[in-house]
């Protein structure tokens, strides 16, 4: 099973930059996208299907905001839209698909960049989401959680940890939540196989030279429940793919 997570920062903008042509290269069996930033009528489903993928979307009610999608050439047994938390579901943040005994969760975590009220909500969301995962795992033991977490977990995951120690996305409380998440029986699949520094998935959109200089953050993840640890075979980040200020993150599992 080949999985990609990719914050496209607007699916319409990404399509204009060649996203569909990239899909046609068969980059993965399942492509999970975040920040769709569209309503249903804005999405070119025909183009996505022409690339060989069945599209499933959970979109924000607010126009041009948030939203997640799962594009799959494998047919899921079950798809669930949202996770029962009113504000999160209003913003279109969580989409679930089951493939046999594996449950895939595609999530777009709140960023906290627009002010203290959103940072406070981010902490609420994180706790609610972990509770949801722990409840889910009582009946679905094999779980993959992919998406834009909007958190750089360790100092190795950010270009300048000292300068950003008080920046949302690298705050001690956010990083402590990530520790707790992994302690709840999850594995950072990328770091399981790749311990090298300077591996980033996002670069500041208002500072274009940061991507050229590779001064970024690793905030996009595909994490798996620990009972899937031995299935992790290949992990990659593709900074050369440039439909967005993020880039695709890849995981290959041997089932």
The model's pLDDT over 178-199, given as tens digits with 9 standing for 90+, comes to: 999 999 999 999 999 999 999 9
How far are the Cα atoms of 73, 98, 133, 201, 234 from residue 141, in angstroms, in the given order? 23, 12, 10, 28, 22
The CATH number assigned to the domain holding 27 equals 3.60.10.10
Q: Is 238 exposed, middle or buried (0-12, 13-18, 19+ CB in 10 A)?
A: middle
User: Which residues span the domain enclosing 91?
Assistant: 2-253
pLDDT at 207 over 90: no
Structure tokens at 54: 């069945």
Q: Is 133 helix (H, G, I), strand (E, B) or coil?
A: helix
Count helices and strands in the chain by DSSP H and E runs = 8, 12
Radius of gyration of the chain (CA): 17
Q: What is the pLDDT of residues 27-70, one digit of tens each?
A: 999 999 999 999 999 999 999 999 999 999 999 999 899 999 99
Structure tokens at 125: 């969301």
pLDDT at 205 over 90: no
Structure tokens at 195: 């311990």
Q: Is-above-0.85 flag for pTM? A: yes
Structure tokens at 52: 């060989």
For the chain, report the end-to-end CA distance as a whole number of angstroms: 7
Using DSSP bridges, classify how beta strands 2-7 and 30-34 pair: parallel, antiparallel or unpaired: parallel
pLDDT at 114 over 90: no
pLDDT at 200 over 90: yes
Structure tokens at 61: 């009610």
Q: What is the pLDDT of residue 13?
A: 97
Structure tokens at 85: 């938390």
The structural domain count of the chain equals 1
Structure tokens at 185: 């029986």
- CA torsion 31-57-96-127 (nearest 10°) is 100
Residue 253 CA to residue 189 CA, distance in Å, equals 10
**What is the pLDDT confidence band of residue 115, given thresholds at 50, 70 and 90?**
confident
**CB half-sphere exposure, 18, CA atoms < 13 A:** 5
Helices (H), the chain: 11-16, 19-23, 45-50, 86-90, 116-136, 172-183, 189-193, 209-212
Active site residue 148: yes
Residue 97 CA to residue 100 CA, distance in Å, equals 10
- CA torsion 44-49-55-60 (nearest 10°) is 0
Q: Let me know the angle formed at the C-alpha of 231 by 229 and 235, rounded to the nearest 5 degrees.
A: 85
Q: What is the pLDDT of residue 123?
A: 98
The one catalytic residue in 127, 131, 148, 185 is 148
Neighbouring C-beta atoms of residue 235, cutoff 10 Å? 18
């Amino acid at each position: 099973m080949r999985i990609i997570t990719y914050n496209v920062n607007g699916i319409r903008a990404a399509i204009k930059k060649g996203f569909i042509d990239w899909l046609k290269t068969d980059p993965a069996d399942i492509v999970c996208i975040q920040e769709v930033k569209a309503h249903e009528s804005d999405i070119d489903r025909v183009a996505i299907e022409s690339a060989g993928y069945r599209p499933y979307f959970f979109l924000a009610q607010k126009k041009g905001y948030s939203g997640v999608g799962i594009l799959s050439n494998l047919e899921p047994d079950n798809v669930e839209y949202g996770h029962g938390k009113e504000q999160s579901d209003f913003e279109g943040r969580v989409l679930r698909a089951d493939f046999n005994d594996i449950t895939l969760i595609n999530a777009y975590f709140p960023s906290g960049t627009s002010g203290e009220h959103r940072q406070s909500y981010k902490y609420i969301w994180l706790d609610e989401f972990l509770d949801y995962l722990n409840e889910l795992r009582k009946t679905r033991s094999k779980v993959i959680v992919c998406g834009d977490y909007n958190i750089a977990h360790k100092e190795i995951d950010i270009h300048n940890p000292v300068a950003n120690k008080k920046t949302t996305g690298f705050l001690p409380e956010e990083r402590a939540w990530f520790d707790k998440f992994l302690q709840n029986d999850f594995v950072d699949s990328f770091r399981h196989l790749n311990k090298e520094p300077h591996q980033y998935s996002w670069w500041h959109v208002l500072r274009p030279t940061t991507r050229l200089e590779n001064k970024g953050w690793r905030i996009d993840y595909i994490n798996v429940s620990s009972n899937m640890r031995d299935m992790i075979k290949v992990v990659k980040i593709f900074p050369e793919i440039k439909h967005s200020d993020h880039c695709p993150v890849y995981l290959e599992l041997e089932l």
